[in-house]
Amino acid sequence: MEKKFINPEGLVKPGAYTPVVSVSGGRTLYISGQVSQDAQGQLIGKGDLLAQTEQVYKNIRTALAAADASFSDVVKLTVYVVNYQPEHRALLQSVREKYVSKANPPASTLVGVQALAASAFLVEVEAVAVVA
C-alpha cells in the first residue's frame, strides 16, 4: 500500500491538513460520524465544545482500533460543528493535533451546520482510513 500526501504548487500549504491524499492498495475504512457519547450512550460534555470534541476523537480512536487501524491510517476527516464561528477553529485544532499526524495530516473539511442528530450534540466527525 502506498499513501502520498500532496501539497501541489498553486494551492496554499495549510500545515494542519493536506490538500490531496492519494492511496493505492490497502483496505479502506469508513468511520461513521462520531458524536460525544460514551459506550453506554451517555452524552459527554453537555454544552462544552472542547469536552465534546475530546470524546469524539476518543470514539474515532476506538472505532479505528476495532478495525486494527490507528489515526496514522486516516486519510480524510470531515468535521461538522453546530453554529460554527471562526474562533472555534483553535479549540478544534487543539484537540485534533493530539490525534492526527503532524507530518502527514489527512485531507480535511470543516463544515458549520445548524444542527446535528440530537440538539445536545455540538460536533460530529467522520473519518476515512486506509490500512495495509
If we measure between CA atoms, which residue out of 18, 62, 68 comes closest to residue 36?
Answer: 62
What global pTM score does this model have? 0.94
Across the chain, mean pLDDT equals 96
Question: Are 79 and 128 contacting, i.e. CB atoms less than 8 angstroms apart?
Answer: no
Q: What is the pLDDT of residue 40?
A: 97
pLDDT, average across residues 84-106: 96
Residue 13 has pLDDT above 90, yes or no: no
Residue 125 has pLDDT above 90, yes or no: yes
Q: What is the pLDDT of residue 89?
A: 96
Helix, strand, or coil here: 93? helix
Q: What is the pLDDT of residue 129?
A: 97
Query: 40-77, pLDDT tens digit by residue?
Result: 999 999 999 999 999 999 999 999 999 999 999 999 99
Q: What is the number of helices (H) and of strands (E) in the chain? A: 2, 6
Residue 82 pLDDT level (bands cut at 50, 70, 90): very high
pLDDT, average across residues 85-97: 97
pLDDT, average across residues 12-32: 94
Question: Are 107 and 17 contacting, i.e. CB atoms less than 8 angstroms apart?
Answer: yes
Tell the CATH superfamily of the 2-131 domain.
Answer: RutC-like (3.30.1330.40)
20-24 and 2-6: which strand pairing?
antiparallel
How many other C-beta atoms can be found within 10 angstroms of the C-beta atom of residue 40? 5
DSSP string, 20-63: EEEEESSEEEEEEEE-SB-TTS-BSSTT-HHHHHHHHHHHHHHH
